[in-house]
Amino acid sequence: MILVTGSSGFIGSRLSHGLISRDCRVRTAIRGDGPTSIDDLAKCDAIVVGGIHASTDWSVALRGVEVVVHCAARAHVMHDRARDSLSMYRTVNVDATRRLAEQAASAGVRRLIFLSSVKATAERSLPGHPLRVDDIPSPEDAYGISKLEAEQSLWEVSARTGLEIVIVRPPLVYGPGVKGNFLRLLRLVSWGVPLPLGSINNARSMVYIDNLVDFLHTCVFSSASAGRTFFPSDGQDLSTIALIRKLADATGRPARLLPMPPYALMLLGRMIGKSMEIERFTATLQVDLTDARRLLDWSPPYTVDHGLGETVTWFLNQS
């Protein structure tokens, strides 16, 4: 039995569907405060655990479970205006994760796979030097800090209990149902809005949602994944310009790219209060897929073009 937490979210719902389609026995842990997007809900146990915090009782959901894939989290929020955002992130992303791991170990669960984030490592990488799992982490915001602290708490629980831990740090995840900056960019491209990104020279790693699901499925069953940290990706990094052109082609729109020097673009971002968004569109952030390929013999089954095509088809059907 595989327990998936956060099963009403973008990744958790797709993962639950993907595991069920592979004939896995799946149980989902849901908060019970909103609808689930899992079409196959009738094919799995759905356990309501309530709020996610340091006192959450996971015991019922953990009965008979061999592997937990922990996707539940307080997601990254751009321009988070909470007075103590780090404390709020820690409550869900650190305290609740530690509680789940401790109860999982007590329940005899063999392995816990934690969906972390590339932001636990860094916000950017040097050109030609993708982030590696042995790089010294330097998270810059409350979300990234909380994800790194959650990883550290899991290793501590593992050392005490023997619970196998697998850390997965995906870069930007896209696909049908995507939100955030990717969806905003897709809307702008589909509207034909001129974008002042024509002078950007960068490279970004991404991972299509079904590639991530396939990778997580591999981590569930591969003995080589235990005790490891991985960066999954599509294996084909794109510049922001290349991404926009591919999205434009898929939507049938011209790519309206205006040249603007990076320093002028950053100045514009500060003037309109969009510095963080501009940074994410212009910075280089690549991850190294070597460990996933070498240790797990894993390669992404879907190409970038396939993933972007599926995403645009979904988007156009929603419009």
Residues annotated as catalytic (active site), given as ranges: 143
For tokens 């042995």, the residue is 134
Q: Phi/psi at 205 (nearest 5 deg)?
A: -85, 145
SS3 content of the chain, % helix, strand, coil (to 5): 45, 15, 40
Q: Phi/psi at 210 (nearest 5 deg)?
A: -75, -25
Q: Phi/psi at 146 (nearest 5 deg)?
A: -65, -35
183, two tokens: 């969806």
DSSP class of 134? T
Contact 107, 157 (CB under 8 A): no
Query: What totals of helices (H) and strands (E) does the chain contain, helices first?
Result: 12, 9
3-state secondary structure of 53: coil
Handedness of CA 114, 117, 120, 126 (dihedral sign): positive
DSSP class of 120? G
Distance (Å, whole) CA 27 – CA 15? 12
